[in-house]
Structure formats: structure tokens, C-alpha cells
């Protein structure tokens, strides 16, 4: 019976596959990036010598011991030590507890850097937009040092997987697996301003702990078009982002019925937009509206709300952007400075 169970148990196809899986579970990009900096800061070759000695005498010894016990028993950590001797059962529970404590201490968070503020001599306070936790404020220690491994992860618009731990009720960045830096934005001041405005809107709208999957996906798509699609007009992309941003927050403008009396609208000749009421107005209520809107602009807004954020031609993007900027910022009750520099 035992032989049949062992024969059905899965195994590794090769020693190399097992070795790579072990390294992948124990070594992250943060370890690789951070080791040269820590070695240089802690004594250079002397630090490396003591590190290698401890790895051989402690790390390799413990690893080989656990591998031998696991292969011999073919059981879980607790059951392995219990099979060895009941008085060693606590070692199995201790190993499980240590792993649980480490997972509680460190957590990985996907996000985009919305803004930062220099802090002290070499640190930065970062604000992330996370799809699961909304706005997250954290500390990036030593990121402004020339050789800091955290420097690339502490710049604007960087997206990635951020590894954090909590200390004194503050999240502290330890490493980051970068996904995209959107570097071309830094080469075009106008597109950089558009991206800053998008990020500022998200920072003002999302609260800590508030899930923001839709806004996260919208911002990621907007940054992509601004950074990598040369055919996408920056102002048109930002205008579309504004409209979809308002829709994601529950402030979709009314385009088919009057915002005041709710009568169906005939937009063949255009219309007028009332920002306070949140939509277009019929001729009878047009005296309350402030922004004239053409038929093509109304059609563009309707199409954008249906298709999402995709590049499409927008005649009169400057006027439409100004209207939507006022519309969104009046709902947020927070003016975004970067918007004053556009169009």
C-alpha cells in the first residue's frame, strides 16, 4: 500500500528543475538588486567573505538537512519531524509558524506611483494607486542615493509589484519587481504634464483602503497611450480619460436626456452642457447651461463611453477638455494644478 502511494506521488523531472524552483522561491529581484549596494555599504570584500562562510556553514547545512528529511519521509514538515521523533514535533510547528510570520510581515502590492515627496536627506514618501487597496502611502528609504536599488521604483508613473513591510504604522518599501517605467513620458514635457494630471486625478479621487480596479486599469491604459503611441494625440487621450474617469466614479454626463427636465434631446444641432446639473440641456432649459457643445463632440463622447479609452479623432478637443476638467474637478472639489497647464 505504501509503495503504491509513493509511486503515485509527483516528483521533479530533473535536478536542474528542482534547483531553479528552489532558487525562484527563495531569491527575489530585490535580493539581486540590493546585494551589491549592501555589500559596498557594509565593508565590501570582508562582508562578502563572512557572508559566504555563513552561507556554507549555516545555510547549506540547514538546507541539506531539510532536503534529506523530506526525501526520506515524503511527508509534510510537521509529520516529518514527528516520524523522526515525537519530541521533535515542535520543530515542524516552528517552521510552519516562521513561514506564517514572514508572510504576515511582508506583503506584495501591485501599483503605480502617482506622486512622491522628498523626505529627509535620502528618502522619499511615495503615493501608490493599488487596484486592491486604493491609495497607499509608503516610505522608500535611501532611494535618492546614487546606487540605491530602490531608485528606479521611486520615480513617477512606475508600475510594478512592490514588496512592503509595516513599521511604526507606516509601510516601508523593501524591493520592487518593475513592470513598466513609461520612460518616454520624461522626454516630452507636454505628455508628461498630461500624465501628471491623470495621476493627480486618481490621487484626489481614491481613498486608502478603497478598491480601485477600474481606475487602475484606466490609468495604466492612459499612460501606455501617452508613452508609446505616437499617433495618439496627448490632449485627446487626456480628454477621453477625463470622461471615462467621471464615468468610473459614477458621474457619467447625461447626453440623451435633459439634465433638468429629463426630456429626450435632439442633438442634431448640438447642445449646451450644464456642469452643475451633470449633462446636456434642452432648449427650454438652455439658459442655465454654460458650455456649448457641437454635434460631433456629443457623438465623440457617446462613442468614447461605449468603446473605452482608444485613440479616436476629436474635433475641438481643447474646448471639450476644459469643460470636462471643470466638470470632474467640481465633483472632486479639488483643483488639480497640472490641469491648469493644459491644453
How do residues 23-33 score in pLDDT, each as one tens digit?
A: 666 665 556 65
247-256 pLDDT, tens digit per residue, is 999 999 999 8
**Residue 90 neighbours by CB under 8 Å, 6+ apart:** 81
CATH 1.20.1440.120 occupies which residues in the chain?
A: 187-341
What the block records as the C-alpha cell of 172 is: 516601508
Please give the Cα distance from 47 to 38 (Å, whole number): 9
Query: What's the pLDDT score for residue 7?
Result: 47
* Model confidence band, residue 74 (pLDDT cutoffs 50, 70, 90): confident
Q: β-strand 134-140 against 170-180: which pairing, if any? A: parallel
Quickly count helices (H) and strands (E) in the chain.
12, 8
Query: What's the pLDDT score for residue 59?
Result: 81
CA-wise closest residue to 207 among 106, 334, 324, 117: 334
Helix (H) or strand (E) holding 224: helix 213-228
Local structure of 14: helix, strand or coil: coil
Stretch 60-86: mean pLDDT: 80
Residue 328 sits at φ, ψ, to 5 deg, of -70, -45
**Residue 112 neighbours by CB under 8 Å, 6+ apart:** 128, 129, 157, 158, 159, 199, 216, 219, 220, 223
CATH 2.40.50.140 occupies which residues in the chain?
A: 106-185
How far, in whole angstroms, is CA 28 from its chain's centroid? 19
Higher pLDDT, 313 or 193: 193
Q: Is the model's pLDDT at 191 over the cut of 70?
A: yes
Q: Give the domain 187-341 fold.
A: de novo design (two linked rop proteins) (1.20.1440)
Superfamily of domain 106-185: Nucleic acid-binding proteins (2.40.50.140)
Query: What's the pLDDT score for residue 154?
Result: 92
Please report, for residues 160, 224, 231, 267, the alpha-carbon distance to residue 306 in angstroms, rounded to integers and kept in the order given. Answer: 29, 20, 21, 18
Predicted TM-score (pTM) of the model is 0.73
- The percent of residues in the chain predicted with pLDDT above 70, rounded, is 89
Do 173 and 162 form a contact (C-beta atoms < 8 A)? Answer: yes
Please give the Cα distance from 43 to 203 (Å, whole number): 41
Query: What length does the chain have?
Result: 343
Q: Is the model's pLDDT at 3 over the cut of 80?
A: no
What the block records as the C-alpha cell of 287 is: 439658459
The Cβ-side half-sphere exposure at 92, using a 13 Å CA radius, reads 17
- Phi-psi region at 143: left, alpha or beta (left = phi > 0; alpha = psi -120 to 50): alpha
Please give the Cα distance from 92 to 193 (Å, whole number): 55
Stretch 186-200: mean pLDDT: 95
CA Rg value for the chain: 28
271-308 pLDDT, tens digit per residue, is 889 998 889 998 888 887 788 898 889 999 999 999 99
Residue 323: burial class (beta carbons within 10 Å; 0-12, 13-18, 19+): buried
* Model confidence band, residue 238 (pLDDT cutoffs 50, 70, 90): very high
**Least confident residue range of 16-25, 185-194, 242-251:** 16-25
Amino acid at each position: 500500500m505504501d509503495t503504491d502511494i509513493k509511486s503515485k506521488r509527483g516528483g521533479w523531472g530533473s535536478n536542474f528543475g528542482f534547483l531553479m524552483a528552489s532558487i525562484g522561491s527563495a531569491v527575489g529581484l530585490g535580493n539581486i538588486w540590493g546585494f551589491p549596494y549592501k555589500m559596498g555599504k557594509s565593508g565590501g570584500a570582508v562582508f562578502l567573505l563572512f557572508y559566504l562562510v555563513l552561507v556554507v556553514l549555516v545555510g547549506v547545512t540547514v538546507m541539506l538537512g531539510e532536503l534529506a528529511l523530506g526525501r526520506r519521509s515524503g511527508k509534510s514538515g510537521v509529520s516529518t519531524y514527528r516520524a523522526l521523533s515525537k519530541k521533535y514535533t515542535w520543530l515542524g510547528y516552528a517552521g510552519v509558524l516562521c513561514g506564517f510570520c514572514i508572510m504576515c510581515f511582508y506583503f506584495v502590492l501591485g501599483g503605480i506611483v502617482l506622486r512622491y515627496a522628498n523626505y529627509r536627506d535620502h528618502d522619499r514618501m511615495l503615493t501608490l494607486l493599488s487596484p486592491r487597496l486604493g491609495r497607499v502611502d509608503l516610505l522608500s528609504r535611501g532611494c535618492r542615493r546614487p546606487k540605491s536599488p530602490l531608485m528606479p521604483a521611486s520615480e513617477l508613473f512606475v508600475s510594478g509589484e512592490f514588496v512592503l513591510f509595516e513599521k511604526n504604522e507606516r509601510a516601508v518599501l523593501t524591493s520592487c519587481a518593475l513592470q513598466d517605467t513609461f520612460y518616454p513620458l520624461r522626454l516630452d514635457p507636454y505628455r508628461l504634464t498630461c500624465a501628471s494630471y491623470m495621476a493627480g486625478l486618481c490621487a484626489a479621487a481614491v481613498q486608502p483602503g478603497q478598491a480601485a480596479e477600474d481606475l487602475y486599469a484606466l490609468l495604466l491604459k492612459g499612460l501606455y497611450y501617452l508613452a508609446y503611441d505616437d499617433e495618439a494625440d496627448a490632449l485627446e487621450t487626456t480628454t477621453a480619460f477625463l470622461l471615462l474617469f467621471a464615468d468610473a466614479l459614477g458621474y457619467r454626463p447625461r447626453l440623451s436626456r435633459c439634465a433638468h427636465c429629463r426630456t429626450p434631446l435632439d442633438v442634431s444641432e448640438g447642445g449646451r452642457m450644464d456642469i452643475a446639473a451633470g449633462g446636456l440641456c434642452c432648449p427650454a432649459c438652455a439658459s442655465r447651461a454654460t458650455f456649448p457643445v457641437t454635434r460631433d463632440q456629443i457623438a465623440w463622447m457617446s462613442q468614447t463611453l461605449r468603446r473605452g479609452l482608444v485613440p479616436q479623432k476629436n474635433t475641438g478637443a481643447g474646448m471639450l477638455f476644459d469643460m470636462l476638467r471643470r466638470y470632474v474637478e467640481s465633483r472632486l472639489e479639488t483643483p488639480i494644478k497640472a490641469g491648469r497647464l493644459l491644453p
